[in-house]
Amino acid sequence: MFKRLVMVMIFFALGFVPQFGYAQTVRISYSGTSGQNLTFWVAYEAGLFKKYGLNTELIFIAGGSTNIQGLLANEIGFAHIGGSSPIQAILQGAEIVILASSYGLMPYGLVTGKTIHSPGELKGKRIAIARLGGIEEVAVRFAMEKLGVGTRNVTLVQSGPDVVRIAAVESGAASATMLAPPALFAAASRGLNILADLGSLKVNYPTSTVVARRSYLAQERPVAKKFLMAFVEGLHLYKQKKSFAIQVLQKYTKLSNQEILSQTYDYFAKNTALVPLTDPAAVQNGLPTDKPSGRKVEEFYDNSLLEELVQEGFVKKIAKEIR
């Protein structure tokens, strides 16, 4: 029943209509409106996928696990999501693989209500996250252990998008939430407390990943290569054209505060990779430690297409063109 419900949600998000004929559109998706998705949006808004011969349809599907379901149902070609969902899916036997990782740090801040000023005050309290199994849950668990609170001493509540979670903290329905910029900066501007900034700890984690099915990669490798060419060019454009990137960020986040938008860009840009090779250490940090799987870290990602682009001189060429 649950699986059927998830598939209905995916088809609704996709605006699914049976397709006839042979025209192929590659559906690509993203899972949230945090700033780590900006590189993906920039590549799309700049028309780079079209430049490399791909007719793409960009879709927002909330939650990494729902995007994984879309990939497995072959309704989505590529998804831009946090690394926790593909890692969990692979551990459960799904034929998913990480093709690129553009941001490899944990960019979340633990935001609390105005009456909470120390970690110990969170014991017995509710912490709002987008969805169970997503990257916010990983961030909360990491923060609770680092702060000495322990995840077992708090209750995680699925609450949806950033704006809903901020409202939950402001109203007292939840005592804290995990937010990435720009929502993190927006919450601070509203007087909420940032109790801990995981980004400052510089912990390697696959926060922004491009994922696909292994069978799709095998069958459509030229398509995947074109997709990554567009994505890599988008990364260079993102780094060199801040004003354009901020316009795109404003469009997708619906925020108008230019200071917060600029802060968000600066926060992510300084640690965004121009060549988004997946770091084995980041994937290793994403693996559960309580139940070791025995899986090799190399089973979770495939850098071969990006390595081809480097060896063929594509990355060097793009770096010269976009200045």
Residue-wise pLDDT tens digits, 255-272: 999 999 999 999 999 999
How high is the pLDDT of residue 59?
96
DSSP 80-91: EE-THHHHHHHH
| pLDDT tens-digit series, residues 105-138 | 999 999 999 999 999 999 999 999 988 877 888 8
Averaged pLDDT, 272-288: 93
Q: Is the pLDDT of residue 297 over 90?
A: yes
Give the model's pLDDT for residue 322. 84
pLDDT for 291: 67
What value does the mean pLDDT take over residues 188-203?
89
Q: Sorting pLDDT into bands at 50, 70 and 90, what band is 92?
A: very high
Nearest 10 degrees: Cα torsion 279, 88, 49, 75: 160
| pLDDT (0 to 100) of residue 142 | 87
Q: What is the mean pLDDT of residues 17-45?
A: 79
| Pair 225, 308: CB distance under 8 Å | yes
What the chain holds in terms of domains, given with CATH numbers, is 2-106+204-321 (3.40.190.10), 109-201 (3.40.190.10)
Q: Which value, in Å, is the radius of gyration of the alpha carbons in the chain?
A: 19
Q: Which of 202, 161, 188 is nearest to 285 (CA)?
A: 202
Q: What is the pLDDT of residue 272?
A: 96
| pLDDT value at residue 24 | 58
Question: CA 298 to CA 319: how far, in whole Å?
Answer: 28
298 vs 1, higher pLDDT:
298
Is residue 4's pLDDT more than 90?
A: no
Residues in the chain: 323
**β-pair partners for 177:** 111, 128
CB 202 within 8 A of CB 270: no
pLDDT in tens, 52-65: 999 999 999 988 88
Q: What is the pLDDT of residues 133-172, one digit of tens each?
A: 778 888 999 899 889 999 999 999 999 889 999 999 999 9
Across the chain, what does the average pLDDT equal? 90
Q: How far apart are CA 115 and CA 171, in angstroms?
A: 12
This prediction has a pTM of: 0.84
User: What pLDDT, on the 0 to 100 scale, is given for residue 134?
Assistant: 79
- Could you identify the residue written with the tokens 């990782």? 101
Q: How confident is the model at residue 290 (pLDDT cuts 50, 70, 90)?
A: low
Instruction: Calculate what percentage of the chain has a pLDDT beyond 90.
Output: 78
pLDDT at 25: 80
Residue 1 pLDDT level (bands cut at 50, 70, 90): very low
The better pLDDT of the pair 25, 307 is held by 307
Contacts of range 187-190, beta carbons closer than 8 Å, 24 or more positions apart: 187/111, 188/111, 189/257, 189/260, 190/166
